[in-house]
Structure 1
Amino acid sequence: MRTQLRSDTPLLEFWEATRLSADDARYPDQAEPAAGTEEAIRAALAGVLVRGCGQRTGTVLAKGGNFVQARTTPSAGALYPFEVLVGVSVGERCVTYLYEVDSGQLNPLASAPPVPLAELVAEAGLADAAPAPVHAVVTLVARPWTAMAKYGRRGYLYTYLDIGHAATNLALAARAAGLEAAIHLRFRRQWLTHALGLAGTCREPQAVVTVTVPGPASAGRAAVEPPTGGDGVLTPVWRDRRQAWLEPPGDPERRNFEALRDISLSYAPTAVVRPGQVTSVAEPPVADPSADVALRRSTGGPVAHAALAARRQSAKGFLPAAVSLDQLAGLLDGLDGRLAADFAELAGAGVGVRLVARAVTGIAPGAYAYSVRRHALHPAGGGPVDEEDVLATCQRQDGLRHAGALVLLHTPLRELLREQGRAGLAEVHLHAAAVAQRLCLNAARERVGVTCVGGFDEAYAARLGRLPRDEEVIYLIAVGVADPAARKADRDPVAYSHGRTAAGFI
């Protein structure tokens, strides 16, 4: 990977772009920044951003049949209906940058006036459990219309899921870089909306990831390292001369955003709490674990998050072949990993994991409840599962017919909404996305094909998974042997799996 000059002078940038090198070695005049300096923090943060939610090697087919650069997290229809704003200290003030993923640049956001970082953290209610002060504030800002123009009402839920994938991956990337990160959903959204200049733009901050540089490295914690680029990702470049502007909304987008008032957390008061350690998987009630199918633990040793993020990809379809029980065991291993988050007291409201096996060598077809504590599958009933069951569940998406298994992430949603309201809807979707992102990374390690499916028949999926009546499926992940020649039907302008003529707009 080429190393950019740290100067922002356009002439020097042009000169740097014309230089050739036989390898990825740094030029001798470009020394590493001193540890602990603002420049070193920026360098480490750039690596976290690209591995957390940036581009990776390869392209994917997006809406309208266009190919776009692939990213480290999945998105419904490859739309990525959110923007990434990064607040870092520049001297005595905090400057907010727009991470323009497609160009690999971080440019100052024109609408966000400078404010001291400590003031931003305090006024936004980003209470942090870390003893050290926050060094960066990464705000994931949803633009619902990007998804809702294609997916209708359900597109709003996809903003929660897509941002949940990105927030989880950012936190994992920060940890891998020797930093500390906390995910925030309970913050003062209205204050942050105005502080970032988002009022009137039909955008809403849905999640914030605060990043802290810990004290001296100790046993079990890596030292903070700048990105090396050896995994094939394009590390973004910080620029200060050119300001970035957000695309203004049109009238249809304004009407759509106004209709979200009764759903969005942006219009509801939020109780700020301090982060705690949270896991996103709920343990299933099992009376007799003697019937469990024990799963092996991964034995190949840990694989660096950077390598897995760079290899993560969504299968466009599956070949008519079975997956092995060992592959499923590796896929499910480590789902109980904890992250710092400010809704830790809702850990019991995490999602359950139910496996529907169709073609898995080593276990009989049927439904299984996954116990993360015992790392085991508990039979939940059912019998043979055929391709028609998969098609009916996945809204006739033909490329998924050969899926060897379906992973259903479920929760008693109506009870949760009665108790927690809008916050419950947002937080359970982040739980689901956090589990799904770990599944995506594990799939890269196990070399098994997975694809996250947002459009599915919830009632059919619940019956197939033998779920209790009060449990509803939030997210579905199809698992199988990836077919590299498949094309996803949901790349059409109106979502195939949601109906070509009635997407259900608000």
Structure 2
Amino acid sequence: MHSIATAPMAWKDLIDPVAPQIARMEPLGGRVAGVVTRIEEMIGRGGASSLRRVPSAGATYPYEILLVSPASTSVVLVDLVRRQVVARAGDCFDVDADSYACLLVGRPWLSMRKYGPRGYLYHLIDGGHAIFDLALLSVTEPPPGPGTGLLPGSHDTVIGDVLAAGRITAGAPRSSSRWRLVTTADAHVQSGRTAFEKWATRISPPAPAPVVFDRVGNLPGQPERAVTARRSAGSFTPGYDTEPLRRVIASGVRCADSALEQLNLPRPVVQVTGHGAAAVTRPPTDLLAALGGQDHLIGADAYVVIGVPTRGDDTIDHRRQGLLIAAGVVGQALYLAATESGAAVTGIGGIDPSAWNRVLPAGQQALYLIAVGGSADGEKFDALHPGSHG
């Protein structure tokens, strides 16, 4: 395709798309199949369900999963949508290694094409959701040895920013009837990037510091038990009991604090607002406007406001990127704590930040909300496109 920065689209751009060069397709086997299944159980779909185990703004899921073979440092793509592992023809990817380096690679364009620059914020928050669940894979395993995050040379051929890395131990060899191994003749396993996405990388900030997710030990509350049942509530019915609500939020915050410390991430500010006794402050007077007109979300009993310190500059540096990722970690911990207790929960990014800034301590700015309360039937709408929330 022509460079969209220097030339308009041409006719051939419309009628001659670049097709994937598939050399071979076969059932996925070996020990890597077990690793892929474990990843899917944490951030993919469950069985025949279309629901993902982690939320995403607009269901864009703006990241990719790569696995690196320790012996050869060859890289494969784990496609959680198509349930296929994509390897490059000629690479010697070991499907029976004892462990693999897992890389979470950001694709902010997938969110930015829908939400504009704020999509970059969403892609880091969504990355934080995924990082929390990937960290749960190490909770039941002994701590890995040193140097098992980014393997030497493993990121040299990676397209995009590595948001997180960690080792995942393989179990016994197995075969998966749902997953396929696809061998491609393409130059990269990370295919499908348009000229628009490539251009967008030119305006994105420098890469954030990768989070090492395989250093997390035990977390309070056993959040891994709630992963399979997580979902975003479509709407809320007020009246959730105060004490259970207070315990849910406190449990989620404790779990998040422990995870952030072990992941070496900064802690964002967390403030509970609402009309019930569990809240520290009252929500904005015009709640509907503060929620960006999302009337199906006004019935929550509490809104957990996640914010960061204000600063006098506009630099998007490692500290600020780390806080955005941390906001996603906090959000997912609250999601799972609420799910475990039976409370309805959803994340809200389409807000009027200025309205929520007023309920935070001075010098803080709101990024993201987690709404908690009683459940009501209904579909979770998106602020820009109905029915597209994860």
Both structures adopt the same fold (TM-score exceeding 0.5): yes
Report matched runs for 1:103-502 at 5 Å.
103-109=82-88, 135-176=99-140, 178=141, 180=143, 194-196=156-158, 198=159, 204-211=160-167, 213=169, 237=179, 239=181, 241=183, 245-260=189-204, 263-265=205-207, 305=224, 307-333=225-251, 335-337=253-255, 338-339=258-259, 344=264, 349-358=266-275, 360=276, 363=277, 367-368=279-280, 382=282, 385=283, 389-414=286-311, 422-463=317-358, 465=359, 467-490=360-383, 492=385
Q: Which residue of 1 aligns with 2:18?
A: none
Structure 1 residues 48, 152: CA separation in 2 closer, same or farther (over 3 Å shift)?
same
Deviation at 1:58?
A: 7.1
- Give the one of 62, 78, 85 matched to 1:99: 78
Question: How far apart in 2 are the matches of 1:249 and 1:317?
Answer: 35
What is the number of equivalent residue pairs in this alignment? 356
Measured in 1, the distance between the counterparts of 2:240 and 2:387 equals 32
1:41-89 deviation digits (Å, cap 9, x = unpaired): x354234301221113676xxxxxxxxx211100000111111111134
Higher relative contact order (CA 8 A, sep 6+): 2
What is the distance in 1 between the residues matched to 2:167 and 2:214? 15
Are the equivalent residues in 2 in contact too, given 1:273–1:342 (CA < 8 A)?
no
Which structure has the bigger radius of gyration? 1
Q: Given that residues 161 and 429 in structure 1 are in contact (C-alpha distance below 8 angstroms), is that contact kept between their aligned partners in structure 2?
A: yes
Pair 138,355 (structure 1): closer, same or farther in 2 beyond 3 Å: same
Q: Secondary structure at the match of 2:235?
A: coil
Check whether the contact 1:82–1:143 (CA below 8 A) recurs between aligned residues.
Answer: yes
Amino acid of the structure 1 residue aligned with 2:207: L
Task: Assess, with a 3 A threshold, how the Cα gap between structure 1 residues 104 and 392 changes in structure 2: closer, same or farther.
Answer: same
Provide the C-alpha distance between the structure 2 equivalents of 1:70 and 1:495, rounded to a whole number of angstroms: 11
How far, CA to CA, are the matches of 1:449 and 1:273 in structure 2? 29
Q: CA, structure 1 residues 134+433, in 2 after alignment: closer, same or farther (shift >3 Å)? A: farther
Residue aligned with 1:258, SS? coil
Aligned residue for 1:36?
none
Q: Is the 8 A contact 1:86 1:97 kept in 2?
A: yes
Deviation at 1:109, TM superposition (A): 4.6
Deviations 1:286-334 (A, max 9, x none): xxxxxxxxxxxx9xxx6571x4111000112213444432133124315
Contact 2:111 2:123 in 1 (8 A): yes
Q: Per-residue deviation at 1:479?
A: 1.2
Q: Which deviations, in whole Å up to 9, do the C-alpha atoms of 1:237-292 show, x marking residues without a partner? A: 362656784334333333322122xx2327xxx6x99999789xxxxxxxxxxxxx
What letter is aligned with 1:105? Q
**Which residue of 1 is the match for residue 64 of structure 2?**
83
Structure 1 counterpart of 2:36: 46
Q: Where does 1:21-60 land on structure 2 (aligned, <5 Å)?
A: 39-40=30-31, 42-56=32-46
**TM-score between both structures, scaled by the size of structure 2:** 0.75
1:432 aligned counterpart, secondary structure: helix
User: Does the aligned pair in 1 maintain the 2:252–2:336 contact within 8 Å?
Assistant: no
Q: Secondary structure at the match of 2:292?
A: coil
Structure 2 unaligned residues grouped into runs of 5+: 1-23
What TM-score, normalized to structure 1?
Answer: 0.60
- Cα separation, partners in 2 of 1:135 and 1:259, compared to 1, 3 Å: same
Q: CA deviation at 1:444?
A: 1.4
SS at match of 1:481: strand
The one-letter code sitting in structure 2 at the alignment partner of 1:206 is V
1: CA distance between counterparts of 2:125 and 2:197? 20
Give the Å deviation of 1:188: 11
Q: Unaligned 5+ residue runs, structure 1? A: 1-7, 17-32, 34-38, 60-68, 117-132, 199-203, 214-223, 229-233, 280-297, 369-380, 497-506
Residues 318 and 449, structure 1, Cα contact 8 Å, conserved in 2: yes
CA–CA distance in structure 2, aligned partners of residues 431 and 236 of structure 1: 33
- Alpha-carbon distance in 1 for matches of 2:313, 2:250: 25
Aligned mates of 2:82, 2:364 — CA distance in 1: 42
CA contact (8 A) 1:278 1:341 kept: no
